[in-house]
Structures are given as structure tokens and as C-alpha cells.
Homo-oligomer: A and B are copies of this chain.
Amino acid sequence: MGNAAVKNADETWVYAFGGGTSDGDASMRNLLGGKGANLAEMAKLGLPVPPGFTISTAVCVAYYDTGRVYPATLDAQVSDALAALEGKTGKGFGDPENPLLVSVRSGARASMPGMMDTVLNLGLNEAVAAGLAGKAGDRFAYDSYRRFIQMYSNVVLGMGHDEFEHILDDYKEREGLDLDTELTADNWKQVIVRYKEAVQKELGRPFPEDPREQLWGAISAVFDSWMSDRAIIYRKLNDIPANWGTAVNVQSMVFGNLGDTSATGVAFTRDPSNGSPIFYGEYLINAQGEDVVAGIRTPAPISRERANTLGSSDAPLEEAMPPVYKQLVDVANTLERHYKDMQDIEFTVEDGTLYMLQTRNGKRTAAAAVKIAVDMVREGLITEEEALLRIDPTALDQLLHPRIPSDDENKKAGNAAYDVAFKGLPASPGAAVGRVVFDSEEAFALAAKGEDVILVRVETSPDDIKGMHAARAIVTARGGMTSHAAVVARGMGRPCVCGASDLRINTAKGEFTARGRTFKKGDMITVDGVNGRVIAGAVSLINPDLSGDFGEFMGWADKRRTLKVRANAETPLDTRTAVEFGAEGVGLCRTEHMFFDEERIPAVRTMILSNDETGRREALAKLLPMQRSDFEEIFRILGDRPATIRLLDPPLHEFLPHTDEDIAGVAKASGLSAEELRRRAADLHESNPMLGHRGCRLGITYPEIYEMQARAIFEAAVNIFKEGKLKPVPEVMIPLVATHRELDILKKLVDETAQKVFAETGVTLDYMVGTMIELPRAALAAGEIAQAAEFFSFGTNDLTQTTLGISRDDAGKFLPIYSEKGIYEKDPFVTLDQEGVGELVKIAAERGRKTRPDIKLGICGEHGGDPASVEFCHRAGLDYVSCSPYRVPIARLAAAQAAIRGAKK
């Protein structure tokens, strides 16, 4: 678009709205931004919108494409628009006799805090203020003028807000004045002189008197704010591309501060915190918009119903200005019916006349979103499909965990505000309360005694799995949204706050400090994984409700989706959670997680440290009954649902001790010297373990390991079958296959083991053998691999690592810079890289199906719970996705959305 702008000198850059005509409408959101498009739409609907014009996002794009130069024709178009605005309002910009004042606001495609917000009353200078004084009263005129100087200096000229506050406080003190309302026009004039001196002193130039200079200053400030650090960070966190750009809205001012017949306010057409269908909002008499936001005066509730809910004694707008209130309710209803969604509106009443300044789809909690969508279907406003498409699947996550009461709920319950100790990244949703523990072993031990603990670590490693599972929540000082702690916590459904940079842990002392406070081991804290907060003390949490509206809503989703949804689970708890959340089977049961268990790891280590097959077989014989009972429990929970069980995958060195202390412990237990143990560990050390001796390479070199695991699976399945009620469906999965020859060898081993178990027990069960497709070579050789494989499960985590050549563990050093530069639009470990990894998935699916038309195709790994990736899987024609239990509802909804969108095309 940028280039087109440069090339096409005839392009329209400016779009007028209000006063009878609108160049734009709501469909032009990409060009006009959300605010601009909706102002135009409201004007078209005949609602009372003060006229103005929008400078399009294309200008912003062109501005950055050309090194911050405006398109040549922009200046003329703005002048024309301004002239037209003067015509519509019958006022003159900079005309002291009848001055046109405007507001200037940013407005991007997506709502974006972090950018310049608003400048009001623009167009005032000494002469205009004097003129305005004659028409609207001098106190109003000079109060407005000083507000303008203050706001413009801060927002456009970049001066501190405090400076002006100091000047005002200083002045009031010297004059013995207390409240702003006590200041007269003359007082304000004196304050204005001081304000202007401050600007001159700090910037070395006077405050601009020329309204056009003011206007262009404000326009540039909006465009420049698009690349402010805060805006860049916000975009990164919210996946907003930099090349969307922002628009600028210039609108004639209306005044809520012309006396007691004027007012300003904001409202939601329904309650955004829980979705209740009440008119929700607040307003201030005799005030300008920013007063509501600034919080200097406490706004009053808008309706009687809301006032009652809050127990407020202030008069609601409903009673203070009944005709205006009635008109506002009509407008709100019109807008909701028109947009078919809950609206967030801003309005101003100027001397008894209502003006609409903004409408947009209102932000809401996930709970509210579901309730509103379900209600609107009942009200006949939208269809079930529209309701399904309206909810961001990832937002559901909030509904599946206990949560912290909202500030409102908290206040209503009569509690003090939350005492936030520190913040970090909201790495895994939900909330939990527990005592601080710094050590995984200790977390496990205390949890075993029934204590609720929160594991607080600098960062986590596979050694911490047991402690993480035992803890109610995890907090780390280091690591991003895809760090070990974050990924594992999401997988386990544990709330997690990670990368908390204020957190300093002193394990030796058994304490941590954050923002100057010290917390000791055993102190009670509350972790809010949704908002990335850690709160001192215990907060009473609210439990999720999976039935009611949520249940109905998910039912609609299940009716529409064609993709099945399974869960990645290996513990009975996870498996049970998965089934509760609607999983249709287990798509990935990682048997190595069972190996880390305290009771088992000695046998695992003995096996690894054995010099020969005999030694390994002895150790494996000890593991067999334990693995068998794991599988029995999982089969029992799953019933007739299938379970894909992956044979041992990680390199063996992961099971060996790393710290001196652990080595000493294992040495003692194993009878080997610490030195010998260290030597063996060094022998097993790998330069690139991700590409090392792991996956089926273990099965090829130590077939006895896979043989034991296959035996455990089949014996467990037979045992459960013999109990008489269930018929387990084991799917044995071979990891890290690159060639069909690997699978041929290992499938033979699995089949032979199955036949032995069936012969020994006299029970024969159906089962499948298949493979992970997680290496590019496997995707390419899928046609040959499918000769032996009855299913493919795309291991997109490893497939992403190998296809892109990026180690997930090491990507932190450059992937953030890559996102910043737009090299990967989204983190490829969160959202599937469709161009690269996706092509391999498609190639493998096609080749696999060509060899074996009924081959079952699924995806496991983090991508299985990412809506964009789920949509890809739907389009690629896979049979199922598998994700962590807590993401199952997300995947169900995403799959439904994909089916609906697919059917539309």
C-alpha cells in the first residue's frame, strides 16, 4: 500500500464524516482505523456525530515508507477538508469571532494503547480564546485554553505532565486557592502565562499560536506515536503488524463542560465483566472527556439499575437528564442492533444536546463474551455460527481455571485492593494460592503432605518436572512465553508467571526480594497467570463453571467441527482433565515423563549405566510393571477412546544427574564411583542433543527398551480388557523416524511383542503402529513410511526446529529481534509456520494418503492448541489435533471456526 501511495498522486488521503455526509463507513476499518470508520458509520446512521475528517492509515504507511515524509497531495486535501468542516459547522478555524475548535485523535485498525490518545480544544490561541470568551464566557474560554496548552504540551511537544501540575499547585498555594473550580478567568490567564514560559524555557521556542501549526503538530504526533517504544511493544505482544499504520481523526469539538446542562460519559451496552444485559457506564456533569478517564472526579453510574448494583448514592444520568438518557439508550440499542455486538460508546452532552464521539465493539472478559454471544443467539440477534466466530478461542483459557475476582468483584466483596508484589509475563492462565518454595524436591515433599505450594525458580529445567507438577503454580525470574517453565506449565494446566525481572531469588537465604520487599520460604502468595501478577497473601479464588452457557456454546462448536481433538497427557490427572475438557482421546502420551518419577529413575539410571544388554534387560524388567500400571490407569480413564503412546524419545543423558550433589547420590545408589558416573555422563554428552542419539535411534541401538515399553502397553491393554468393561485402543508411536527402514525394523519389534503378549494371555486386541513425522526427511519419505505406518502424528515442535534450523531452547537470543523486524510474523513455535513447516505437513499428508488412503493423520505439540494452527490443520485435511488438556476447549472452538470459515468459501 505504501508504494502505491507514492506512485498514485491522485489517491484520496482524507475522508470526511458528519454533518449530513460521510465519505467512509464501518467496512473501511483498515483504511480509516476503528474510530474513524465507526464515526463515519454512526453519521451515516443519522446519529448525532460532531462533523470532522479522518486522515487515512495509508498516509501513515507512506510516511514511514519514505522516511517520514507526507504524500505531496496531503496538505491540500487537509486544507479542503478543513474548509468543508468550517462550512458544515459555520465556524472558522482560528477565527476569533466564531472559532472552530477540534479534537485530534489516533485510531488504528485495532485498538492500541501506547499511541497518542487525544488532544482537545485545538485551535485556541490568545486571540481565539478572547473571542471564545465573548461567546461562551471567559472562565470557560480560559479554562479550555489552559487545558489545551497542558494537553498539547504533554502529548505533542513531549513535556512532562507533572511540570504543569506543579505550576498550578504552586499558583493555587500562592493565591490561597484550593479547588480548580475556585479559579477565575483571570487566575487561568495568569496560569497560562506561566505555562507558556515553561514551554519556552524547556523547548527554546514559544507555544504555537498558529492553529494550522498546532494541527500539523498534532497530526505528526499521532503518526510518530505509531513507532513509539510502547506502541512497538504493544504490537509485538498482540501480534499487530507494523505495516497496518494508524489513522488520525480531526473532529469539531463539543463541550461537556459548558455548565450543569452539559456532561460527558462512557457506556457499555452490556456488562463487560459478566455479560449481563444491563446498560453499564458512568458520566460526569460539566466535564470534558478526559476528566472521566483521569479519575480526579469520581463519575456517577449511568443507570438506576447500575447505581443500585454499586450501591452508589450519586444521581444516575437516567435521573439527572431523563430525555438525554432516553435518547442515549435508543442510540445504544440502535448501535447494538446495527453492529450486532455489545458496544463501548463515548458521548458528550453539550447544553442538553447529545453527541456521539465513539462507538466500538466493547472489550469484555471471556465469561462475558460467552454469555453475550449465547444471549444474542437467544435474542435472535446473531446465529450460532456468528456466535462461534465471535469468540477468540484463546480467551476460553481464562474460563477453565480458578480465577482471581475482578477488581469490581473484589471491591463489592468489601476487600482491600490487591497487594501486587511484582509482575511478569502471563505465561499460563489461571490463579493459585500457596506457600513459597524454592526447591522442586521440597515442593514435591510438601505437596505430598497436602500443602499448597508455589514453586519460585530463576528458571526451570527437566529436573523440575516433578516439583512443577506438585506445585499449584510456577513463578520464574527468567524466560519468555515459550521457556521451559511456560511450556510445561501450560501443558500441565498450572498457572505460571515467568520472566519476572523484578524477582531476585536468594536460595541460600531461603527468600526472594521484589520491588524492595522480601518474602521468605513459606510465605503465602497468590499467582495470577492471566494478568502476570503475583499478589502478597491469599486471595479467595472463583472456580470455573464448565456447564451452563459455556457448555451450550461448546456444544455448538462440537456440532460444526470436523477435526477431532485429542490431548497430550501422560498422567492420570492430565488424562482425566483432558476427558473433562472434551478430549476424544490421547494424541501424545510421552512415556519418558513416567521415567522421571522418583521411584523409577534409579532403575532408569541403572539401565543407562549398564555396560551390556543383559544389565539393561535386568533394569528394564524392574521398570516393566511400573510402566504397565501407568498404562492401565490411562486406559481405564480413557475407556474406548484411543491413546497414542510414544516410545522413549529423549537422549539418555537427560536422565543422568547433573549437579555434584545428585551425582554423589546416584553414585551411592548405583555402586559406581562419582568419577565413573561423571565419565559415563561425559561419554553420553552431545554437542546438539536435539539432533542426537534419541527417538527411534534409541530403539534401533537398544531394542530391549522399546520391547519393554511395547510389552507394558500390550499387557496393560489386555489386563484392562480382561476386567470386562473396556476395550482399550493402543496406538504405538515411534518417534524421530527419518527413513522407512527405521520404522520397518521397529514395527516388526512391536508386532512381535504384541503377538507374544497375545499368545501368552490368550487375548488379541486391535492396535495400531505409527510414527511421528517430525523430521523434514520423514515428511518427504512419507509415501514409503506409510507402507508400515498406520498413522502419522506430526510432531510440529521438532519439525519446526529442524525445518527452520532453530533450536527452541536457544531461540531467545534472536527470535525477539526477528519478530521485531517482521522476519517471522509470529513465533513459529507458537503458531505453525505455514509456508515452511506447513508445506512439509501437506507434502507428507498427500504422500502418506497416496500410499495408504485411510492413514490417520494428526498433529501433536504446542501448535495443536493454537487457533491459527488448528485452522491450518483443518484446511490440510488432518483427522485430529492433539494439545495440552487445558487447550482442548480452545482447539474445539478453533476447529469449529475453521469448519465454518471453510464452508463459507
Contacts and interface: CB of A to CB of B under 8 A. Distances in A.
Contacts of A836: 738-739, 776-777, 780-781
A740 to B, nearest CB: 9
Contact of A805 (B686, B691, B809, B821): B691
A817 interface: yes
A862 interface: no
A824 interface: yes
Contact of A810 (B691, B700, B837): B691
How big is the A interface, by class? 35 or more
A802 interface: yes
A693 B805 contact: no
B813 A693 contact: yes
B776 A802 contact: yes
A818 interface: yes
A658 to B, nearest CB: 13
A790 interface: no
A839 B692 CA distance: 23
A804 interface: yes
A741 interface: yes
B739 A700 contact: no
A700 B742 contact: no
Contacts of A343: none
Contacts of A739: 823-824, 835-836
B821 A687 contact: no
B687 A809 contact: yes
A667 interface: no
A803 interface: yes
B777 A805 contact: yes
Contacts of A775: 803-805
Contacts of A813: 692-693, 701
A810 B836 CA distance: 26
A738 B805 contact: yes
A807 interface: yes
A651 to B, nearest CB: 9
B807 A686 contact: yes
Given A780-B835, A804-B775, A805-B691, A701 B817 contact: yes
Nearest to A686: B810
Contacts of A822: 741
Contacts of A483: none
A817 B739 CA distance: 15
A486 interface: no
Interface string A604-634: 0000000000000000000000000000000
Nearest to A742: B823
A745 B807 contact: no
A334 to B, nearest CB: 45
A690 interface: yes
Given A821-B741, A839-B780, A687 B807 contact: yes
A103 interface: no
A141 B814 CA distance: 84
A736 interface: yes
Contact of A807 (B692, B776, B818): B692
B821 A803 contact: no
A691 B801 contact: yes
A828 to B, nearest CB: 9
A689 interface: yes
A814 B699 CA distance: 11
A788 to B, nearest CB: 13
A469 interface: no
Contacts of A821: 700, 741, 745
Contacts of A780: 803, 835-836, 839-840
A777 B803 contact: yes
B741 A823 contact: yes
B701 A810 contact: no
A415 interface: no
Contact of A738 (B689, B692, B742, B804): B804
B700 A806 contact: no
Contact of A823 (B693, B700, B817): B700
A776 B701 CA distance: 27
A810 B776 contact: no
B798 A776 contact: no
A689 B691 contact: no
A691 B738 contact: no
B691 A806 contact: yes
Given A736-B805, A738-B836, A803-B802, A688 B810 contact: yes
A397 interface: no
Interface in A730-748: 736, 738-739, 741-742, 745
Nearest to A822: B741
A655 to B, nearest CB: 16
A243 to B, nearest CB: 12
Contacts of A689: 687-688, 810
A821 B746 CA distance: 12
A697 interface: yes
A815 to B, nearest CB: 9
A829 to B, nearest CB: 12
A833 interface: yes
A821 B813 CA distance: 40
Nearest to A774: B805
A700 B818 contact: yes
A484 B781 CA distance: 30
A183 to B, nearest CB: 49
A835 to B, nearest CB: 6
A690 B687 contact: yes
Contacts of A798: 805
Interface in A665-721: 686-693, 697, 700-701
Interface string A743-785: 0010000000000000000000000000000111100110000
Given A809-B688, A813-B693, A776 B803 contact: yes
Q: Which of A686, A776, A798, A836 has the most CB of B within 10 A?
A: A776
A803 B840 CA distance: 11
A823 B810 CA distance: 31
Given A700-B821, A814-B701, A833 B777 contact: yes
A775 to B, nearest CB: 4
Contacts of A810: 686-689, 691-693
A802 B741 CA distance: 19
Nearest to A652: B813
Given A690-B691, A736-B805, A817-B700, A840 B741 contact: no
Interface string A592-609: 000000000000000000
A260 to B, nearest CB: 58
Contacts of A774: 805
A300 to B, nearest CB: 52
Q: Which of A691, A697, A806 has the most CB of B within 10 A?
A: A691
A700 B821 CA distance: 9
Contacts of A818: 697, 700
A686 B687 CA distance: 9
Q: Which of A742, A777, A806, A807 has the most CB of B within 10 A?
A: A777
A688 B807 CA distance: 6
Contacts of A803: 775-777, 780, 802
A669 to B, nearest CB: 25
Contact of A804 (B688, B700, B777, B837): B777
Nearest to A836: B777
A807 B802 CA distance: 11
A817 B802 CA distance: 23
Contacts of A686: 807, 809-810
A736 B804 CA distance: 9
Given A688-B807, A700-B817, A776-B805, 4 more contacts: A688-B689, A688-B809, A691-B807, A798-B805
7 contacts: A687-B690, A688-B809, A690-B691, A697-B814, A736-B805, A738-B805, A775-B803
Ranked nearest first, the 7 interchain pairs of A and B with the lowest CB-CB distance are: A777-B836, A691-B807, A688-B807, A776-B776, A692-B810, A775-B805, A687-B809
Interface of A: 686-693, 697, 700-701, 736, 738-739, 741-742, 745, 774-777, 780-781, 798, 801-807, 809-810, 813-814, 817-818, 821-824, 833, 835-837, 839-840
